[in-house]
Amino acid sequence: MTVRTQKSEDSMSTSTVAPHRGAPTGHHPEGRTGAGLFDPGQVLKSLPDAFRKLDPRVMVTSPVMFVVLVGSVLTTVFSFTDPGDWFGWTISAWLWLTVIFANLAEAVAEGRGKAQADTLRKARTGTVARRLGGDGGPEERVPGTRLRIGDLVVCETGDVIPGDGDVVEGVASVDESAITGESAPVIRESGGDRSAVTGGTKVLSDRIVVRITTKPGETFIDRMIGLVEGAARQKTPNEIALNILLASLTVAFLLAVATLPPFADYAGSALSMVVLVALLVCLIPTTIGALLSAIGIAGMDRLVQRNVLAMSGRAVEAAGDVSTLLLDKTGTITLGNRQASEFVPVRGTTEAEVADAAQLSSLADETPEGRSVVVLAKERYGLRERHQGELVGARWTEFSAQTRMSGVDLDGRSIRKGAAGAVIAWVEERGGQVTEDAATVADRISEAGGTPLLVAVEDTDGARVLGVIHLKDVVKHGIRERFQELRRMGIRTVMITGDNPLTAKAIAEEAGVDDFLAEATPEDKMALIKREQAGGKLVAMTGDGTNDAPALAQADVGVAMNTGTSAAKEAGNMVDLDSDPTKLIDIVEIGKQLLITRGALTTFSVANDVAKYFAIIPALFAAVHPGLDKLNIMGLFSPDSAILSAVIFNALVIIALVPLALRGVRYRPGSADTLLRRNLAVYGLGGLIAPFVGIKIIDMLVSLIPGIG
Q: Which residues are annotated as a binding site for ATP?
A: 365, 369, 399-406, 417
Going by the annotation, the residues of the binding site are 365, 369, 399-406, 417, 544, 548
Query: Do residues 13 and 579 touch, judged by C-beta distance below 8 A?
Result: no
152 touches 165 (CB < 8 A) = no
Give the chain's end-to-end CA distance (angstroms, integer).
Answer: 87
CA 174 – CA 368 distance, rounded (Å): 22
Look at residues 670, 529, 660 and name the one whose alpha carbon lies nearest to residue 589.
670
Angstrom distance (rounded) from CA 501 to CA 447: 10
Contacts of 51 (CB under 8 A, 6+ apart): 100, 103
Which residue type is seen at 12? Answer: M
| DSSP structure class, residue 683 | I
Q: What angle do CA 279, 91, 259 make, to 5 degrees?
A: 25
Burial-class residue 419 by CB neighbours within 10 Å (0-12, 13-18, 19+).
middle
Class of residue 312 by CB neighbours under 10 A (exposed 0-12, middle 13-18, buried 19+): middle
Q: How many angstroms separate the CA atoms of 186 and 179, rounded?
A: 12
Measured in residues, the chain has a length of 709
The C-alpha atoms of residue 262 and residue 271 are separated, in whole angstroms, by: 10
Q: How far apart are the C-alpha atoms of 381 and 705, rounded to whole Å?
A: 84
DSSP 3-state assignment of 322?
Answer: coil
Beta strand pairing status for 152-156 and 462-472? unpaired
Catalytic residue among 301, 328, 576, 586: 328
35: which residues sit within 8 A by CB, 6+ positions away? Answer: none
Neighbours of 389 (CB within 10 A): 8
- Contact yes or no for 233/313 (Cβ under 8 A): yes
* 328 counts as catalytic: yes
- Which residue numbers are catalytic? 328
